[in-house]
Amino acid sequence: MHSKSYSYKKVDKIVFGMLSPKMIKKMATAKIVTPELYDREGYPVDGGLMDIRLGVIDPGLRCKTCGEKLKECQGHFGYIEFARPLIHIDYAKVLFNFLQCTCRECGKILMPEEERQKILAKIDKYLQKNNVDSFRKASKLAKIMCRSVRKCPHCKAKQLGIKIEKPTTFFEDTKRLNPIEIRARMEKVSDEDCLLLGLRPEYARPEWMILTVLGIPPVTMRPSITLETGERAEDDLTHKLSDIVRINQRLFENINAGAPEIIIEDLWDLLQYHVTTYFDNEITQVPPARHRSGQPLKTLSERIKSKEGRFRHNLAGKRVNFAARTVISPDPKIGLNEVGIPFEVAMELTVPENVTEWNIEWLKEFLKKGPKQYPGANYVTMEDGKKKKISAETQEQLLQELTPGQVVERHIVDGDVAIFNRQPSLHRMSIMCHKVRVLPGKSFRLNPAVCNPYNADFDGDEMNLHVPQTQEAMAEAETLMEVQTQIMSPKNGLNVIGCIDDAVTGNYLLTKLAEMPKQEAIMLLLSIGVDEPDRFRKFKETVNGKEIFSALLPKDFQFVGFSKNCKKHKVCEGKKCETDSFIVIKDGNLVSGVIDSNTVGEGNGTLLRDIHRLYNETTSVDLFGKIFRLGIAYLLKCGMTIKTSDADMPEDIQGRVKEMLESAETDVDKLIADFKSDKLKAGVSMSIRETLERMILQRLNEARNEIGKLIAKSAAPGNSSLIMAQSGAKGNILNLAQTAALVGQQALRGKRINKGYRNRTLSLFKQFDLSPAAHGFVRHSYKKGLNPYEFFFHAMTGRDSLMDTALRTPKSGYLYRRLANAMQDLKIEYDYTVRDANNAIVQFTYGDDGVDVSKSDGGSIDVKKIINEVEGAD
Amino acid sequence: MAVDDDLLKQYKGRIPEPLLKTFREYADEVGLSKANQKKAIEKIEGRYLNSKIHPGEAIGIVTAESFGEPGTQMTLRTFHFAGVAEANVTLGLPRLIEIFDARKDISTPIMEIYLKKQPKDEKELEKLIALIKEIKFSEVLAEITINIAKMIIEVKLNRKRMKDLEIRDDPLLKALRTTLKTVDILDKDDLLIMKPKVKELTLPGLYAIKERIKEVHVKGIEGIKQVLPVKRNEELILISSGTNLKKVIEIEEVDASKTTSNDIFEIAKVLGIEAARNGIVREVSKVLHDQGLEIDDRHIMFVSDLMTTTGTVKGVTRSGITGEKESVLARASFETPIVHLINASMVGEIDKLNSVVENVLINQPIPLGTGLPGLVTKMKGEKEDEQ
The highest-level CATH class for domain A323-486 is mainly beta
Other Cβ atoms within 10 Å of B155 Cβ, number: 22
Over residues B5-48, the pLDDT tens digits come to 788 888 888 888 888 888 888 888 887 788 888 888 888 898 89
A682/B contact by beta carbon, under 8 A: no
Task: Check A815 against B44: CB less than 8 A apart.
Answer: no
Q: What is the pTM assigned to this prediction?
A: 0.88
Cβ A275 vs Cβ A214: under 8 Å: yes
Cβ A402 vs Cβ A380: under 8 Å: yes
Residue A351 forms beta bridges with which residues?
A: A410
Over residues A255-292, the pLDDT tens digits come to 898 888 888 888 998 999 999 999 988 888 888 888 88
Residues of B in contact with A11 (CB under 8 A): 353, 362, 364
User: What is the nearest CA distance from B200 to chain A, expressed in angstroms?
Assistant: 31
Other Cβ atoms within 10 Å of B201 Cβ, number: 14
CA angle A272, A277, A282 (to 5 degrees): 135
Nearest to A202 among B22, B328, B348 (CB): B348
Over residues A611-647, the pLDDT tens digits come to 888 888 888 898 999 999 999 999 998 888 888 888 8
The bridge status of strand A444-446 relative to strand A323-330 is: parallel
Look up residue B293 and give its amino acid: L
B256/A contact by beta carbon, under 8 A: no
A750: helix, strand or coil: coil
Q: State the DSSP code for A98.
A: H
CA A432, A435, A437, A438 dihedral sign is: positive
Look up residue B242 and give its amino acid: G
A249: helix, strand or coil: helix
What ranges do the domains of chain A cover?
91-208, 323-486, 501-638, 644-789, 827-873
Cβ B253 vs Cβ B275: under 8 Å: no
Distance of CA A528 to the CA centre of its chain: 37
Query: Which segments within A173-266 are labelled E, that is strand?
Result: 175-177, 210-216, 225-226, 232-233
CA gap A822, B315 in Å, rounded: 10
Q: What's the pLDDT at A409?
A: 94
A-chain residue closest to B230, CA distance: A684
Residues of A in contact with B361 (CB under 8 A): 311, 315-316
CA gap A827, B55 in Å, rounded: 8
Nearest to A863 among B26, B52, B81 (CB): B26
Residues of A in contact with B96 (CB under 8 A): 815
A766/B contact by beta carbon, under 8 A: no
- What average pLDDT does the structure give for chain B? 83
Query: Which segments within A550-605 are labelled E, that is strand?
Result: 559-562, 582-586, 589-592
Nearest to A132 among B295, B321, B347 (CB): B347
Over residues A388-399, the pLDDT tens digits come to 999 988 888 999
Task: Check B80 against A856: CB less than 8 A apart.
Answer: no
B220-225: which pairs have CB atoms within 8 A and are 24 or more residues apart?
Answer: B220/B130, B220/B131, B220/B132, B220/B133, B220/B134, B220/B135, B221/B131, B221/B132, B221/B133, B221/B134, B221/B247, B221/B248, B221/B251, B222/B134, B222/B247, B223/B109, B223/B134, B224/B111, B224/B132, B224/B133, B224/B134, B224/B248, B225/B133, B225/B134
Architecture of the domain made up of B135-219: 2-Layer Sandwich (3.30)
Q: Which of residues 328-367 of B touch A (CB under 8 A)?
A: 328-330, 332-334, 337-338, 341-358, 360-364, 367
What is the 3-state composition of chain A as percent helix, strand, coil, each rounded to the nearest 5? 45, 15, 40
Q: What's the pLDDT at B85?
A: 41
Residues of B in contact with A816 (CB under 8 A): 64-65, 67-69, 71
Per-residue burial over A539-568, b if 16 or more Cβ lie within 10 Å, else e, is beeebbbbbbbbbbbeeebbbbbbbbbbee
B70/A contact by beta carbon, under 8 A: yes
Task: Check A203 against B332: CB less than 8 A apart.
Answer: no
Over residues B166-219, the pLDDT tens digits come to 777 777 777 777 777 777 777 777 777 777 777 777 778 788 888 888 888 878
B236/A contact by beta carbon, under 8 A: no
| Burial label, B221 (beta-carbon count in 10 A; 0-12, 13-18, 19+) | buried
What's the Rg (C-alpha) of chain A?
Answer: 38
CATH of A501-638, one of 1.10.8.100, 1.10.274.100, 3.90.180.10, 3.40.800.20: 1.10.274.100
Task: Check B68 against A820: CB less than 8 A apart.
Answer: yes
- What average pLDDT does the structure give for chain A? 88
A320/B contact by beta carbon, under 8 A: no
Task: Check B75 against A199: CB less than 8 A apart.
Answer: no
Cβ A349 vs Cβ A412: under 8 Å: yes
The highest-level CATH class for domain B325-371 is mainly alpha
Instruction: Give A476-518 as a DSSP string.
Output: HIIIIIBGGGGSB-TTTS-BS--B-HHHHHHHHHHHHH-EEEH
**Ramachandran quadrant class, B381 (left: phi over 0; alpha: psi -120 to 50; beta: rest):** left
- CA neighbor of A419 nearest in space, from A320, A558, A307: A320
Cβ A385 vs Cβ A304: under 8 Å: no
Task: Check B96 against A815: CB less than 8 A apart.
Answer: yes
Task: Check B346 against A18: CB less than 8 A apart.
Answer: yes
Per-residue burial over A482-509, b if 16 or more Cβ lie within 10 Å, else e, is bbbbbbbbbbbbbbbbbbbbbbbbbbbb
Tell which of B65, B353, B361, B370 to mutate to test the A interface (max A CBs under 10 Å): B65
CA gap A574, A572 in Å, rounded: 5
B-chain residue closest to A873, CA distance: B36
Nearest to B60 among A823, A838, A847 (CB): A823
Look up residue A869 and give its amino acid: E
What ranges do the domains of chain B cover?
5-51, 135-219, 325-371
Q: Where are the alpha helices (DSSP H) in A280-359?
A: 300-304, 343-346
Task: Check B326 against A807: CB less than 8 A apart.
Answer: no
B-chain residue closest to A838, CA distance: B354
Q: Which residues contact B109 (CB under 8 A, 6 or more apart)?
A: B223, B241, B242, B243, B261, B262, B263, B266
Residues of B in contact with A693 (CB under 8 A): none
What DSSP element (H or E) covers A769? none
B323/A contact by beta carbon, under 8 A: no
- Looking at CATH, the fold of the domain delimited by A644-789 is given as Topoisomerase I; Chain A, domain 4 (1.10.132)
Cβ B141 vs Cβ B157: under 8 Å: yes
Q: Which of residues 280-319 of B touch A (CB under 8 A)?
A: 294-299, 301-303, 305-306, 309, 316-317
Section B267-287 average pLDDT: 93
CA gap A525, A549 in Å, rounded: 9
ipTM: 0.88
Other Cβ atoms within 10 Å of A204 Cβ, number: 23
CA gap A582, A368 in Å, rounded: 61
In this predicted structure, which of A830-844, B184-198, B272-286 has the lowest mean pLDDT? B184-198
B233/A contact by beta carbon, under 8 A: no
Q: What's the pLDDT at A305?
A: 87
**Ramachandran quadrant class, A291 (left: phi over 0; alpha: psi -120 to 50; beta: rest):** beta
| pLDDT > 90? residue A695 | no
Nearest to A428 among B22, B62, B305 (CB): B62
Section A139-158 average pLDDT: 84
Per-residue burial over A78-110, b if 16 or more Cβ lie within 10 Å, else e, is bbbebbbbbbbbbbbebbbbbbbbbbbeebbbb
A863/B contact by beta carbon, under 8 A: yes
Q: What's the pLDDT at A432?
A: 95
Q: What's the pLDDT at A556?
A: 86
Task: Check A16 against B341: CB less than 8 A apart.
Answer: yes
Angstrom CA distances, A745 to A659, A660, A671, A698, A752, stand at 17, 15, 17, 10, 7
B-chain residue closest to A302, CA distance: B338
The bridge status of strand A559-562 relative to strand A30-31 is: unpaired
Query: Which segments within B197-265 are labelled E, that is strand?
Result: 217-219, 226-232, 235-241, 260-261
